[in-house]
Amino acid sequence: MKKRGQIWVETIIYTLIAFLLIAAVIFFVKPKIEEIQDKAMIEQSIEFIKSIDSTINEIGQEPAGNKRILELGIKKGSFKFDGGNDTIAFEIETSYKYSEPEVDVAEGNLIVLTKEKSGFNLISITRNYTQYNLTYKMEDKLKILTEAPTSYKLSLSNKGGALIIIDAEIN
């Protein structure tokens, strides 16, 4: 009878040790996995903003009346179309540091800025336009698109003018 009880005690102890080891691995590995995922998302966002920039420049070079529709899938973070400041931007909160905090990093025509907040970093990817007047529904206002399970349809069109107006709408 003593042997049988000892086997059960050993089994429970070994099971508890295994659970503790699994918990320790998850505790240390999960943040690193999330950081790698955030890094990949930031790099994809930079490429996506470059794609939007390319589309805006393409529309701006063509005659008034040209229009393009882009699909925006936002799984994390937010996209800002700022007609008042003639900028587009993407912001994401993450534990990953893309660059030195509070230092602008040029990524082609984009400016990437990392700001330290309590417990996380705010990464901002911004493109400023001086050659175009960006508007949202023909008004100089800010439109923020947040995380959504489905894609947004962003419509960009050239409305012409001395300073070419690039108008955006969400369909």
pTM, to two decimals: 0.79
Report how many domains make up the chain: 1
Please report, in tens digits, the pLDDT of each residue of the chain (171 residues total): 556 677 888 889 999 999 999 999 888 888 888 888 888 888 888 888 999 999 999 999 988 888 999 998 888 889 999 999 999 999 998 888 888 888 888 888 899 999 998 888 899 999 999 999 999 999 999 999 999 899 999 999 999 888 899 999 988
CB distance 134 to 82 below 8 Å: yes
Angle at 75 between CA 77 and CA 70, to 5 degrees: 95
Half-sphere exposure (Cβ direction) of 26: Cα atoms closer than 13 Å? 6
Please report, in angstroms and rounded to a whole number, the separation of the first and last CA atoms in the chain: 74
DSSP E strands: which ranges in the chain?
Answer: 67-72, 78-82, 87-94, 105-107, 110-117, 120-128, 133-136, 142-146, 152-160, 165-170
**Which domain covers residue 75, as residue numbers?**
2-170
